[in-house]
Structure 1
């Protein structure tokens, strides 16, 4: 056995496209603290100033965490919840970012 055999393979970095929609269904509330600010920074770099954050309907823990964080972020100009019926209703929030 060589030393290389003992090493776990290094995971390949996968870059996800940045767009006007962020689906948080696979995230826990504890994981959004750095995710949202980083995502919004990348959106602003690309001129995307209106983002739909999909947090789902569920029990509301993720939505509450998202809204608490949005209220604290200086890059967030405004957030609108619930989204309209065609945009996810109470399972999504529109976020308007500062330029």
Structure 2
């Protein structure tokens, strides 16, 4: 039987304990930085779509102490962790 991989945002919700707990954690961090918070309904929407908005990924990383990274939360924007490591290992291209 094929096993379905959990999305990054689903993992974040599981680690936080609930969608409400994740929303509260994001809100606490966002408000400390002078930004607006999020509702549990917003988190539910992210879970349904399978990814978090890029502007919220850093807050989720910080709330969960990097147990879920932006690369898993929104690979469409940030790429995969493997792609990020490969890019970091490439020497800078020098233009002639």
TM-score, normalised relative to structure 2: 0.27
- Structure having the larger proportion of residues in strand: 1
Structure with the largest fraction of helix: 2
